[in-house]
């Protein structure tokens, strides 16, 4: 039962008329469970009711995932979600429920959930082991006011001193979230800093690590959400939302990677991207007219710098009208795109949600006829300035609007040959207002659950990218869509890749790029990158080269820049910006800084193209079981307290450890190697783990280490993916004990879903001076090459011999301890001794 009158301590303080517009103060009620009254069970769902009517519903999703929902007066909201994967098949786990005088206890084979009868506080333990993972420090609370309705739902938990916290998606602060208070409200954050919060995406999921055991919590609420990781009170963690229902999932590990995988299963894993999308991308605000685009493409090919995609920013449009071309700058867009394709370039163009108000513009007039745009609660259209001075905005939370949106891409995608689309400004951003977005009183359908913008704001960009993705699949069902979005929400990884937004050309932002990509990857969004070199301001050659080296290990590898040096561009007049670009063009292509930086950037890109089969395999693992492509060092050695606050080093796929150079003038770099043993990728020197290693890092090199027992596949350098038919590929084998994979398919289309792939699984054993490498292949795809060139590292100080499937193989010695041989690509066993 709600408190009918606030206690004396809770008596509301009068609020000024400037805040409420009313001379009367607001009145609020606070709800919190008091004492257990009864519990009921229906299948794997337990509903517990307190004597004052507050209810807690616990749904056992699987042995390792529990869902907690609270209802302040016993009535739960409709169970609808944009975040959860509709295709996730929930299990029917073994569940036992016991009750004593103090607790109600739920047990699965992996977890123990203990609910105190006093306050319905929850504690989670692992099973077996009975180790405490997390526990409430206070009962759930809900605050409701007359003016705002429900304005806060909150959970407060204990935060042990040794606990560390990771994830939360798009945040630019320290990698370990402890000591930070953060919020989620998608925001156009031009030129953000390490202290800027919120940013562009809302991913209310974090991972906890305490005494070597990991778990995760996903706050399943699309309102503005908040997280206090022991900042306000050093022994407490709190998370809350500014409306809606307290609804969260507890995800057990104990491995952090398992937690990330289970979160990805819960919210959905994407399809395989087209292979070209993992190549190098070149972008600028803006490449125009078309002669400039041809010039950039020619320079890439003349300098033999690999590149797969060129982007066209807003200036390809006719007066910022989406789905149109500026005929003065691009008189023959289909011919341009065809010419670029012949040279191996895919074309990607920007599409924004703001539709220009113009009675001569068919997208606007048809949208008005179909009634697809957002309205205020007063009944008038939501109109506001973005790049056009007057825009309307589709309500992407309506299914019929998403269906209307998809076919708008037909001319660009089907007729003119554009390969992918970049959905920008979809927080949604609105210029010239201090809130930089829609006001709260904009209505949204929310797929048949009508609401206002407070609830729909964080999903707006996600649903735009969903409409784009679904539309592209309908237009070309045989082609894998490529969509890049700026704003999104949990689950949005099913529809689009992301980048970290409008950053700055600075060494500080190079460091932030490293942290942000790790954080987004472990939060479900592995297809992530940054504006390489910085979007605003201009890097020098050294900074650009170091960024190119780091980004070679980010799944989305894209240079993007403003192309001018104007401060405050987000508020500047667009015509003035473009005039400055024409008179003071500042390019940011790989050759823009001259030598030695051109050669260094080219080398970084070439390494990326050599590692494409390794990265493509990592994506296969991500799409199959949710393994993040990038993982922070704590994921590699979570029981080691020395790694919980380390930010620079990260895992790229299963076997590579990257130590980026993040400071100017560096000639050596120090990196911490996690447990196990590691090789220097370049020299083959072997190191024991759990130690700091300093290595040379002249400007031409980024330190890179390989886990023992790994097989790293390499392709020959190409100018673009699919340029060459290979006769042979290289496997670099680093002696030790381990398992590796190589996944290959056609690089586009969906035949891989019907066994048209090749999965080569390698098992390596190294003992008693004998290395044994076995291969098992599955699938029906034929890559085309006939042989592997296998480079073997870590067999020191002797003359070695090799046999392949029992037959002698010529083994050529390279540098000390390394050898090379050529074997059939379908071999079963290679023995070196």
Q: How many CA atoms lie within 13 A of 170 on its CB side?
A: 33
**Cis amide leading into 596 (omega within 30):** yes
Do the beta carbons of residue 154 and residue 205 sit within 8 Å?
no
Q: How far apart are the C-alpha atoms of 811 and 791, rounded to whole Å?
A: 10
DSSP string for residues in 426-452: TTT--TTSTT-S--TTBEE-TTTS-EE
Q: Which helix (H) or strand (E) holds 691?
A: strand 691-696
How do beta strands 483-485 and 497-499 pair? parallel
Among the listed residues 188, 197, 427, 677, the single catalytic one is 427
Half-sphere exposure in the Cβ direction for 2 (13 Å, CA) = 15
Q: Residue 372's closest CA among 355, 386, 388, 389? A: 355
* 425: nearest Cα among 372, 357, 502: 502
Within 10 Å of residue 540's Cβ, how many Cβ atoms? Answer: 11
Q: Which helix (H) or strand (E) holds 243?
A: none
End-to-end CA gap in the chain = 77
DSSP secondary-structure letter at 641? G
Rounded to an integer, what distance in angstroms lies between the CA atom of residue 66 and that of residue 114?
Answer: 12
Q: 93-111 b/e with 16+ CB inside 10 Å = b?
A: bebeeeeeeebbbbbbebb
Give the angle subtended at the CA of 424 by the CAs of 462 and 312, to the nearest 5°: 135
Q: Which is catalytic among the residues 502, 542, 589, 744?
A: 502
Give kind and range of the element (H or E) at residue 734.
strand 728-734
Q: CA dist 442 to 83, 189, 380, 437, Å? A: 21, 22, 9, 11
Q: Which of 424, 581, 748, 791 does the annotation list as catalytic?
A: 424
d(CA 788, CA 714): 10
Backbone angles phi, psi at 569, to 5 degrees: -60, -30
Reported residue count of the chain is 833
CA distance 81 to 65: 17
**3-class SS at 713?**
strand
Rounded Cα distance, 75 and 233, in Å: 32
Residues near 35 by beta carbon (within 8 Å), at least 6 away in sequence? 50, 51, 117, 118, 119
Indicate if 654 belongs to the active site: no
Instruction: Reply yes or no on whether 647 is catalytic.
Output: no
DSSP secondary structure of 261-312: HHHHHHH--PPPPPGGGGSEEE--TT--SHHHHHHHHHHHHHTT----EEEE
The angle at the Cα of 285, spanning 564 to 474, to the nearest 5 degrees, equals 170
Q: Provide CB contacts within 8 A for 92, sequence distance 6+.
A: 43, 44
Q: How many CB atoms lie within 10 A of CB 358?
A: 14
Is 427 annotated as catalytic? yes
Q: Which residues are catalytic?
A: 424, 427, 502
């Amino acid at each position: 039962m709600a408190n009918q009158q606030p206690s004396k301590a809770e008596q509301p303080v009068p609020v000024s008329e400037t805040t409420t517009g009313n001379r009367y103060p607001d009145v609020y009620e606070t709800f919190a469970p008091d004492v257990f009254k009864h519990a009921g069970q229906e299948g794997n769902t337990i509903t517990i009711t307190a004597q004052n009517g507050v209810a807690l519903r616990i749904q056992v999703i699987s042995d390792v995932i529990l869902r907690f929902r609270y209802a302040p007066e016993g009535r739960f909201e409709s169970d609808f979600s944009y975040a959860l994967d509709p295709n996730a098949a929930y299990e029917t786990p073994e569940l036992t429920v016991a009750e004593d005088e103090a607790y109600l206890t739920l047990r699965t084979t992996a977890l123990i959930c203990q609910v105190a009868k006093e306050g319905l506080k929850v504690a989670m333990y692992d099973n077996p082991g009975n180790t405490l993972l997390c526990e409430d420090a206070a009962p759930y609370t809900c605050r409701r006011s007359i003016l705002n309705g429900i304005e806060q739902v909150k959970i407060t938990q204990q935060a042990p001193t040794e606990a560390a916290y990771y994830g939360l998606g798009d945040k630019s602060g320290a990698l370990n979230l402890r000591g930070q208070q953060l919020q989620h409200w998608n925001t156009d954050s031009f030129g953000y800093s390490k202290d800027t919060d919120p940013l562009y995406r809302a991913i209310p999921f974090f991972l906890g690590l305490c005494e070597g055991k990991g778990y995760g919590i996903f706050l399943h609420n699309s309102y503005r959400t908040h997280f206090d990781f022991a900042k306000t009170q050093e022994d407490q963690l709190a998370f809350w939302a500014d409306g809606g229902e307290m609804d969260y999932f507890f995800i057990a590990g104990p491995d952090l990677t398992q937690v990330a995988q289970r979160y990805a299963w819960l919210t959905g894993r994407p399809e395989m991207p087209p292979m070209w999308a993992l190549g190098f991308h070149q972008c600028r605000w803006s490449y125009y007219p078309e002669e400039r685009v041809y010039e950039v493409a020619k320079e890439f090919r003349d300098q033999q710098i690999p590149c797969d995609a060129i982007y066209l920013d807003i200036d390809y449009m006719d007066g910022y009208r989406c789905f149109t071309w500026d005929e003065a700058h691009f008189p023959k867009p289909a011919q341009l795109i065809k010419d670029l394709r012949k040279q191996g370039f895919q074309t990607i163009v920007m599409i924004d949600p703001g539709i220009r108000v113009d009675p001569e513009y068919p997208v606007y007039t048809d949208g008005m006829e179909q009634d697809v745009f957002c309205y205020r609660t007063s009944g008038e259209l939501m109109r506001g300035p973005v790049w056009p001075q007057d825009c309307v905005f589709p309500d992407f939370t309506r299914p019929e609007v998403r269906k209307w949106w998809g076919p708008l891409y037909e001319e660009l995608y089907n007729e003119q040959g554009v390969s992918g689309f970049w959905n920008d400004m979809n927080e949604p951003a609105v210029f010239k207002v201090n809130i930089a977005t829609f006001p709260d009183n904009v209505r949204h359908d929310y797929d048949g659950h009508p609401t206002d913008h407070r609830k729909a704001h964080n999903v707006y960009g996600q649903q735009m990218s969903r409409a784009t993705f679904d539309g592209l699949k309908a237009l070309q069902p045989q082609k894998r869509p490529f969509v890049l979005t700026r704003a999104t929400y949990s689950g949005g990884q099913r529809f689009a890749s992301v980048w970290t937004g409008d950053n700055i050309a600075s060494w500080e932002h190079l460091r932030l790029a490293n942290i942000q990509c790790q954080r987004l990857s472990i939060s479900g969004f592995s297809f992530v990158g940054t504006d390489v070199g910085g979007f605003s301001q201009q890097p020098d050659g050294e900074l650009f080269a170091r960024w190119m080296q780091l980004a070679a290990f980010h799944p989305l590898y894209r240079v993007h820049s403003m192309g001018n040096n104007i401060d405050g561009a987000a508020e500047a007049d667009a015509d003035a910006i473009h005039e400055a670009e024409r008179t003071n063009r500042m390019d940011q292509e790989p050759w823009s800084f001259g030598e030695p930086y051109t050669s260094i950037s080219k080398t970084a890109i070439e390494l990326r193209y050599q590692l494409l089969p390794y990265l493509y395999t990592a994506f296969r693992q991500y799409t199959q079981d949710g393994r993040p492509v990038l993982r922070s060092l704590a994921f590699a050695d979570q029981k080691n307290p020395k790694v919980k606050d380390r930010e620079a080093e990260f895992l790229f796929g299963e076997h590579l450890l990257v130590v980026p150079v993040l400071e100017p003038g560096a000639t050596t770099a120090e990196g911490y190697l996690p447990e196990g043993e590691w090789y220097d990728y370049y020299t083959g020197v072997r190191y024991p783990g759990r130690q700091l290693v300093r290595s040379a890092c002249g400007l031409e090199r980024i330190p890179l280490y390989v886990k023992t027992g790994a097989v790293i596949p390499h392709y020959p350098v190409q100018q673009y993916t699919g340029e060459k038919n290979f006769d042979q590929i290289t496997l670099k084998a680093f002696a030790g004990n381990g398992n590796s994979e190589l996944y290959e398919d056609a690089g586009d289309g969906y035949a891989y879903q019907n066994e048209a792939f090749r999965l080569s699984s390698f098992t390596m054993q190294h003992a008693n001076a004998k290395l044994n490498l076995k291969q098992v292949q599955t699938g029906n795809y034929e890559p085309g090459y006939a042989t592997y060139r296998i480079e073997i590292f870590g067999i020191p100080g002797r003359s070695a011999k090799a046999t392949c499937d029992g037959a002698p193989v010529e083994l050529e010695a390279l540098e000390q301890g390394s050898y090379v041989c050529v074997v059939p690509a379908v071999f079963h066993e290679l023995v070196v001794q």
